[in-house]
Structure 1
């Protein structure tokens, strides 16, 4: 019985190590995404409204596309539940 407890605890350590790796990767992704958003924001804010700069606009478009492609957004359409109106 004690061996089972020890094995269970060892399995928790393995799981926590794997979780730590995953969290570190996620943290790096979040940091990178935030840096990209901030860089894009700075590029947009530095646009001169009195002077047309096609190269800068192309750079902004490129940065926007790269950022959008790096994001994975899942949207689900849940039904609107109305059972509460039947009993209210």
Structure 2
């Protein structure tokens, strides 16, 4: 479970453009431990659920954001000046 959390933390760091160390500190705070090795299985599950929620929120946010292809042309015809 610890390796799954490590992988999820790395993916979260990549998706949020944050340093992996800052993501690890955040997760240690969520678990209430100084080092991940001190965490119980329940704390690891809680942190893994937290990371999963954050990644799902980021995915939903990126799906909701329109892309240039979705927006189409900004104007048609002559420019407004």
Task: Please state which band the TM-score falls in when normalised by the shorter chain.
Answer: 0.3 to 0.5
TM-score normalised according to structure 2 size: 0.39
- Name which one, 1 or 2, has greater alpha-carbon Rg: 1
